[in-house]
Amino acid sequence: APAWAIAKSVGFPPARAVQWTNFLLTFILLAMGIGVLRLVMTGPALGIASVLWAFFPSLFLITPRIGNDQLFFLAHVICLCASLSYIVKQKAIALVIGAIACWAAFWTKSTGLVSICIWIAGFVLGYFPRERLLPKAGEWAGLLMMFGLGISILVKMLVGDSLVGNAGGLNQRLAVGYSAVNFLYFDIPEYLSTVYTDAWRDEGGRQYFWNYLFKTALFGEFKIRTDAFGVWTAMILNYSFFGLLIYGFVGFWKKKFDRRVWLLLVNGGLFLLALATLRMKYPYSCSNDFRYILPILLSFVPFVGWGIFKENASFKWEVTGVVLTFIFVISSSLLYLSL
Protein backbone atom coordinates (compact mmCIF):
# COMPACT_ATOMS: atom_id res chain seq x y z
CA ALA A 1 0.00 0.00 0.00
CA PRO A 2 1.29 3.53 -0.76
CA ALA A 3 0.79 4.63 2.87
CA TRP A 4 2.89 1.69 4.08
CA ALA A 5 5.71 2.39 1.60
CA ILE A 6 5.81 6.13 2.30
CA ALA A 7 5.77 5.63 6.08
CA LYS A 8 8.55 3.07 5.87
CA SER A 9 10.70 5.40 3.75
CA VAL A 10 10.45 8.25 6.30
CA GLY A 11 10.85 6.07 9.38
CA PHE A 12 7.23 6.28 10.59
CA PRO A 13 5.62 3.02 11.85
CA PRO A 14 3.94 1.63 8.70
CA ALA A 15 1.06 -0.04 10.55
CA ARG A 16 0.22 3.21 12.31
CA ALA A 17 0.36 5.10 8.98
CA VAL A 18 -2.09 2.64 7.40
CA GLN A 19 -4.43 3.02 10.38
CA TRP A 20 -4.40 6.80 10.07
CA THR A 21 -5.01 6.51 6.33
CA ASN A 22 -7.95 4.21 6.96
CA PHE A 23 -9.28 6.64 9.56
CA LEU A 24 -9.22 9.38 6.92
CA LEU A 25 -10.93 7.12 4.38
CA THR A 26 -13.62 6.26 6.94
CA PHE A 27 -14.23 9.95 7.63
CA ILE A 28 -14.64 10.62 3.89
CA LEU A 29 -16.87 7.54 3.66
CA LEU A 30 -19.05 8.98 6.41
CA ALA A 31 -19.40 12.28 4.55
CA MET A 32 -20.12 10.60 1.21
CA GLY A 33 -22.77 8.39 2.83
CA ILE A 34 -24.58 11.45 4.14
CA GLY A 35 -24.33 12.86 0.63
CA VAL A 36 -26.12 9.76 -0.66
CA LEU A 37 -28.87 10.16 1.93
CA ARG A 38 -29.35 13.84 1.04
CA LEU A 39 -30.04 12.83 -2.56
CA VAL A 40 -32.95 10.58 -1.57
CA MET A 41 -34.35 12.08 1.65
CA THR A 42 -35.37 15.32 3.33
CA GLY A 43 -36.70 16.49 6.68
CA PRO A 44 -36.58 14.58 9.99
CA ALA A 45 -36.32 11.21 8.21
CA LEU A 46 -32.99 12.39 6.77
CA GLY A 47 -31.81 13.32 10.26
CA ILE A 48 -32.64 9.85 11.63
CA ALA A 49 -30.95 8.08 8.72
CA SER A 50 -27.83 10.28 8.98
CA VAL A 51 -27.46 9.67 12.71
CA LEU A 52 -27.82 5.91 12.25
CA TRP A 53 -25.26 5.90 9.43
CA ALA A 54 -22.78 7.97 11.43
CA PHE A 55 -23.01 5.94 14.64
CA PHE A 56 -23.66 2.45 13.34
CA PRO A 57 -21.36 -0.03 15.13
CA SER A 58 -19.83 -1.32 11.89
CA LEU A 59 -18.16 2.05 11.27
CA PHE A 60 -16.53 1.86 14.70
CA LEU A 61 -15.32 -1.65 13.84
CA ILE A 62 -13.70 -0.85 10.49
CA THR A 63 -12.01 2.43 11.41
CA PRO A 64 -8.84 0.98 13.04
CA ARG A 65 -8.76 -2.09 10.81
CA ILE A 66 -5.75 -2.60 8.54
CA GLY A 67 -6.90 -3.78 5.13
CA ASN A 68 -8.52 -2.70 1.89
CA ASP A 69 -12.10 -2.68 3.18
CA GLN A 70 -12.28 1.08 3.68
CA LEU A 71 -11.06 1.83 0.15
CA PHE A 72 -13.67 -0.48 -1.37
CA PHE A 73 -16.46 0.95 0.79
CA LEU A 74 -15.51 4.50 -0.17
CA ALA A 75 -15.24 3.69 -3.88
CA HIS A 76 -18.61 1.95 -3.86
CA VAL A 77 -20.37 4.77 -1.99
CA ILE A 78 -18.88 7.31 -4.43
CA CYS A 79 -20.29 5.19 -7.27
CA LEU A 80 -23.70 5.05 -5.57
CA CYS A 81 -23.67 8.79 -4.92
CA ALA A 82 -22.65 9.54 -8.51
CA SER A 83 -25.36 7.24 -9.89
CA LEU A 84 -28.03 8.90 -7.75
CA SER A 85 -26.73 12.31 -8.76
CA TYR A 86 -27.05 11.35 -12.43
CA ILE A 87 -30.66 10.24 -11.85
CA VAL A 88 -31.52 13.46 -10.02
CA LYS A 89 -29.50 16.09 -11.90
CA GLN A 90 -28.91 14.45 -15.31
CA LYS A 91 -25.27 15.61 -15.38
CA ALA A 92 -23.06 13.33 -17.46
CA ILE A 93 -19.96 14.08 -15.36
CA ALA A 94 -21.55 12.00 -12.60
CA LEU A 95 -21.28 8.92 -14.84
CA VAL A 96 -17.57 9.56 -15.38
CA ILE A 97 -16.97 9.91 -11.63
CA GLY A 98 -19.00 6.77 -11.02
CA ALA A 99 -17.02 4.85 -13.64
CA ILE A 100 -13.71 5.86 -12.02
CA ALA A 101 -15.09 4.70 -8.68
CA CYS A 102 -16.11 1.37 -10.26
CA TRP A 103 -12.54 0.79 -11.43
CA ALA A 104 -11.25 1.49 -7.93
CA ALA A 105 -13.94 -0.66 -6.28
CA PHE A 106 -13.44 -3.73 -8.47
CA TRP A 107 -9.66 -3.73 -8.38
CA THR A 108 -9.77 -3.32 -4.62
CA LYS A 109 -12.23 -6.17 -4.04
CA SER A 110 -14.12 -8.53 -6.34
CA THR A 111 -17.28 -7.34 -4.59
CA GLY A 112 -16.80 -4.32 -6.83
CA LEU A 113 -18.99 -6.25 -9.28
CA VAL A 114 -21.86 -4.84 -7.20
CA SER A 115 -20.54 -1.32 -7.85
CA ILE A 116 -20.54 -2.02 -11.58
CA CYS A 117 -24.15 -3.20 -11.43
CA ILE A 118 -25.08 -0.04 -9.51
CA TRP A 119 -23.49 2.13 -12.21
CA ILE A 120 -25.39 0.26 -14.93
CA ALA A 121 -28.67 0.50 -13.00
CA GLY A 122 -28.09 4.21 -12.32
CA PHE A 123 -27.37 4.83 -16.01
CA VAL A 124 -30.54 3.03 -17.14
CA LEU A 125 -32.74 4.70 -14.51
CA GLY A 126 -31.30 8.13 -15.29
CA TYR A 127 -31.12 7.82 -19.07
CA PHE A 128 -34.65 6.61 -19.74
CA PRO A 129 -37.14 8.04 -20.41
CA ARG A 130 -36.01 11.23 -22.13
CA GLU A 131 -36.46 12.92 -25.49
CA ARG A 132 -32.79 12.96 -26.54
CA LEU A 133 -31.71 9.34 -27.04
CA LEU A 134 -28.24 10.13 -28.40
CA PRO A 135 -25.76 10.06 -25.46
CA LYS A 136 -23.90 13.22 -24.52
CA ALA A 137 -20.10 13.36 -24.68
CA GLY A 138 -19.78 12.73 -20.94
CA GLU A 139 -22.12 9.77 -21.18
CA TRP A 140 -20.04 8.30 -24.00
CA ALA A 141 -16.94 8.78 -21.87
CA GLY A 142 -18.52 6.93 -18.96
CA LEU A 143 -19.69 4.10 -21.21
CA LEU A 144 -16.23 3.72 -22.76
CA MET A 145 -14.60 3.60 -19.34
CA MET A 146 -17.03 0.91 -18.23
CA PHE A 147 -16.40 -1.01 -21.46
CA GLY A 148 -12.69 -0.93 -20.65
CA LEU A 149 -13.41 -2.18 -17.15
CA GLY A 150 -15.47 -5.01 -18.63
CA ILE A 151 -12.53 -6.04 -20.82
CA SER A 152 -10.19 -6.07 -17.82
CA ILE A 153 -12.66 -8.22 -15.86
CA LEU A 154 -12.85 -10.66 -18.77
CA VAL A 155 -9.08 -10.96 -18.71
CA LYS A 156 -9.20 -11.58 -14.96
CA MET A 157 -11.77 -14.34 -15.45
CA LEU A 158 -9.65 -15.96 -18.14
CA VAL A 159 -6.70 -15.98 -15.76
CA GLY A 160 -8.96 -17.81 -13.29
CA ASP A 161 -8.37 -15.85 -10.09
CA SER A 162 -10.33 -17.15 -7.11
CA LEU A 163 -12.89 -14.97 -5.34
CA VAL A 164 -11.54 -16.02 -1.94
CA GLY A 165 -7.92 -16.96 -2.23
CA ASN A 166 -7.53 -18.67 1.14
CA ALA A 167 -10.87 -20.50 1.16
CA GLY A 168 -9.24 -23.89 0.78
CA GLY A 169 -7.22 -23.35 3.94
CA LEU A 170 -10.10 -22.47 6.27
CA ASN A 171 -10.54 -24.55 9.42
CA GLN A 172 -13.40 -27.05 9.05
CA ARG A 173 -14.67 -26.08 12.50
CA LEU A 174 -15.89 -22.89 10.81
CA ALA A 175 -18.13 -24.90 8.45
CA VAL A 176 -21.86 -24.14 8.57
CA GLY A 177 -24.98 -25.44 6.83
CA TYR A 178 -26.09 -24.13 3.46
CA SER A 179 -29.59 -25.56 3.03
CA ALA A 180 -32.64 -23.36 2.39
CA VAL A 181 -33.49 -23.16 6.10
CA ASN A 182 -30.04 -21.77 6.88
CA PHE A 183 -30.69 -18.83 4.54
CA LEU A 184 -34.41 -18.19 5.00
CA TYR A 185 -34.97 -18.70 8.72
CA PHE A 186 -34.34 -15.92 11.22
CA ASP A 187 -34.09 -17.42 14.72
CA ILE A 188 -35.56 -14.51 16.69
CA PRO A 189 -35.46 -16.21 20.14
CA GLU A 190 -31.77 -17.03 19.61
CA TYR A 191 -31.06 -13.47 18.46
CA LEU A 192 -32.75 -11.93 21.49
CA SER A 193 -31.41 -14.37 24.09
CA THR A 194 -27.71 -14.22 23.17
CA VAL A 195 -25.52 -11.14 23.11
CA TYR A 196 -22.62 -11.96 20.80
CA THR A 197 -22.19 -14.49 18.04
CA ASP A 198 -19.31 -16.94 17.67
CA ALA A 199 -17.73 -18.05 14.41
CA TRP A 200 -16.71 -21.35 16.03
CA ARG A 201 -19.83 -22.32 17.97
CA ASP A 202 -23.51 -22.54 17.06
CA GLU A 203 -24.55 -20.53 20.11
CA GLY A 204 -25.28 -17.05 18.81
CA GLY A 205 -26.87 -18.18 15.56
CA ARG A 206 -23.97 -18.73 13.18
CA GLN A 207 -25.91 -21.47 11.38
CA TYR A 208 -28.51 -18.96 10.18
CA PHE A 209 -27.66 -16.36 7.57
CA TRP A 210 -29.77 -13.55 9.06
CA ASN A 211 -28.71 -14.15 12.67
CA TYR A 212 -25.02 -14.07 11.83
CA LEU A 213 -25.47 -11.11 9.50
CA PHE A 214 -27.20 -8.97 12.13
CA LYS A 215 -24.86 -9.95 14.96
CA THR A 216 -21.72 -9.21 12.93
CA ALA A 217 -23.28 -5.90 11.87
CA LEU A 218 -23.34 -4.93 15.55
CA PHE A 219 -20.26 -6.66 16.98
CA GLY A 220 -18.32 -8.31 14.20
CA GLU A 221 -17.09 -11.77 15.17
CA PHE A 222 -15.94 -10.44 18.54
CA LYS A 223 -17.10 -10.42 22.12
CA ILE A 224 -16.55 -6.68 22.49
CA ARG A 225 -16.81 -6.57 26.29
CA THR A 226 -17.73 -9.42 28.63
CA ASP A 227 -18.01 -7.48 31.88
CA ALA A 228 -21.43 -6.50 33.25
CA PHE A 229 -21.39 -3.04 31.66
CA GLY A 230 -20.40 -4.42 28.25
CA VAL A 231 -22.96 -7.23 28.28
CA TRP A 232 -25.82 -4.96 29.32
CA THR A 233 -24.88 -2.28 26.78
CA ALA A 234 -24.56 -4.88 24.03
CA MET A 235 -27.92 -6.38 24.94
CA ILE A 236 -29.58 -2.95 24.74
CA LEU A 237 -27.92 -2.49 21.36
CA ASN A 238 -29.32 -5.87 20.26
CA TYR A 239 -32.86 -5.07 21.32
CA SER A 240 -32.90 -1.52 19.94
CA PHE A 241 -31.59 -2.77 16.59
CA PHE A 242 -34.39 -5.34 16.47
CA GLY A 243 -36.88 -2.51 17.02
CA LEU A 244 -35.28 -0.51 14.20
CA LEU A 245 -35.65 -3.51 11.91
CA ILE A 246 -39.40 -3.34 12.51
CA TYR A 247 -39.45 0.37 11.67
CA GLY A 248 -37.38 -0.34 8.57
CA PHE A 249 -39.87 -2.96 7.42
CA VAL A 250 -42.75 -0.51 7.93
CA GLY A 251 -40.85 2.12 5.95
CA PHE A 252 -40.28 -0.36 3.13
CA TRP A 253 -43.97 -1.26 3.11
CA LYS A 254 -45.26 2.31 3.19
CA LYS A 255 -42.74 4.13 0.98
CA LYS A 256 -43.76 5.04 -2.55
CA PHE A 257 -40.89 3.99 -4.79
CA ASP A 258 -39.29 6.34 -7.28
CA ARG A 259 -36.15 5.80 -9.36
CA ARG A 260 -33.85 6.81 -6.50
CA VAL A 261 -35.46 4.34 -4.10
CA TRP A 262 -35.28 1.61 -6.71
CA LEU A 263 -31.52 2.16 -6.95
CA LEU A 264 -31.22 1.80 -3.17
CA LEU A 265 -33.16 -1.46 -3.38
CA VAL A 266 -30.88 -2.72 -6.15
CA ASN A 267 -27.89 -1.81 -3.95
CA GLY A 268 -29.27 -3.72 -0.98
CA GLY A 269 -30.45 -6.71 -2.99
CA LEU A 270 -27.15 -7.14 -4.82
CA PHE A 271 -25.08 -7.02 -1.63
CA LEU A 272 -27.34 -9.61 0.01
CA LEU A 273 -27.10 -11.79 -3.09
CA ALA A 274 -23.31 -11.44 -3.14
CA LEU A 275 -22.98 -12.42 0.52
CA ALA A 276 -25.40 -15.34 0.19
CA THR A 277 -23.51 -16.55 -2.89
CA LEU A 278 -20.22 -16.33 -1.01
CA ARG A 279 -21.61 -18.38 1.87
CA MET A 280 -23.04 -20.99 -0.54
CA LYS A 281 -19.75 -21.25 -2.42
CA TYR A 282 -17.67 -21.27 0.76
CA PRO A 283 -19.99 -22.53 3.55
CA TYR A 284 -18.05 -21.16 6.50
CA SER A 285 -19.26 -18.77 9.16
CA CYS A 286 -16.67 -16.14 8.21
CA SER A 287 -18.19 -15.98 4.71
CA ASN A 288 -21.29 -14.43 6.29
CA ASP A 289 -19.61 -11.40 7.90
CA PHE A 290 -21.49 -8.11 7.56
CA ARG A 291 -18.28 -6.15 7.05
CA TYR A 292 -18.09 -7.43 3.48
CA ILE A 293 -21.27 -5.53 2.60
CA LEU A 294 -21.21 -2.48 4.89
CA PRO A 295 -22.51 -0.07 2.18
CA ILE A 296 -25.83 -1.93 2.38
CA LEU A 297 -26.53 0.31 5.37
CA LEU A 298 -27.34 3.08 2.92
CA SER A 299 -30.18 0.89 1.67
CA PHE A 300 -31.44 0.23 5.22
CA VAL A 301 -31.28 3.44 7.26
CA PRO A 302 -33.48 5.46 4.85
CA PHE A 303 -36.34 3.01 5.37
CA VAL A 304 -35.97 3.34 9.14
CA GLY A 305 -36.35 7.10 8.80
CA TRP A 306 -39.30 6.75 6.43
CA GLY A 307 -40.83 4.14 8.76
CA ILE A 308 -40.65 6.43 11.78
CA PHE A 309 -42.08 9.43 9.92
CA LYS A 310 -44.50 7.54 7.72
CA GLU A 311 -47.60 9.24 6.40
CA ASN A 312 -50.30 9.71 9.05
CA ALA A 313 -47.98 8.40 11.79
CA SER A 314 -49.18 9.04 15.32
CA PHE A 315 -47.17 11.17 17.72
CA LYS A 316 -46.49 8.10 19.92
CA TRP A 317 -45.21 6.13 16.92
CA GLU A 318 -42.79 8.89 15.94
CA VAL A 319 -41.55 9.54 19.49
CA THR A 320 -41.00 5.82 20.08
CA GLY A 321 -38.97 5.58 16.87
CA VAL A 322 -36.85 8.63 17.70
CA VAL A 323 -36.22 7.39 21.26
CA LEU A 324 -35.32 3.93 19.95
CA THR A 325 -32.88 5.50 17.50
CA PHE A 326 -31.11 7.46 20.22
CA ILE A 327 -31.00 4.43 22.52
CA PHE A 328 -29.28 2.58 19.68
CA VAL A 329 -26.85 5.40 18.99
CA ILE A 330 -25.99 5.96 22.67
CA SER A 331 -25.48 2.27 23.42
CA SER A 332 -23.34 1.89 20.29
CA SER A 333 -21.18 4.86 21.27
CA LEU A 334 -20.85 3.76 24.90
CA LEU A 335 -19.85 0.23 23.97
CA TYR A 336 -17.17 1.13 21.44
CA LEU A 337 -15.81 4.35 22.92
CA SER A 338 -15.31 2.59 26.28
CA LEU A 339 -12.79 0.17 24.80
Query: Which contacts qualify for 58-61: CB closer than 8 Å, 24 or more apart?
Result: 58/217, 58/218, 58/220, 58/290, 58/291, 58/294, 58/297, 59/26, 59/29, 59/30, 59/294, 60/332, 60/336, 60/337, 61/219, 61/220, 61/291, 61/336
Q: What is the residue-level pLDDT of the chain in tens, covering all 339 positions?
A: 566 667 677 777 777 777 788 888 999 999 999 999 999 999 999 999 999 999 999 988 888 777 788 999 999 999 999 999 999 998 999 999 999 999 999 999 989 999 999 999 999 999 987 777 788 898 999 999 999 999 998 888 787 665 555 555 678 888 999 999 999 999 999 999 999 999 999 888 999 999 999 999 999 989 999 999 999 999 999 999 999 999 999 999 999 999 999 999 999 999 999 999 999 999 999 999 999 999 999 999 999 999 999 999 999 999 999 999 999 999 999 999 887
A 10 A CB-CB count for 312 gives 6
Q: Answer whether 24's CB lies under 8 Å from 32's CB.
A: no
pLDDT of residue 215: 96
Q: Whole-angstrom Cα distance, residue 91 to residue 83?
A: 10
284 bridge partner residues: 175
Q: Is 175 helix (H, G, I), strand (E, B) or coil?
A: strand
Dist. CA 148–CA 167, nearest whole Å = 29
Give pLDDT, residue 277: 94
Cα separation, 113 vs 271, whole angstroms: 10
- Cα separation, 17 vs 11, in Å, equals 11
CA 33 to CA 160: how far, in whole Å? 34
- Candidates 122, 161, 120, 111; CA nearest to 274 is 111
In Å, how far are 206, 276, 284 from 201, measured between CA atoms?
7, 20, 12
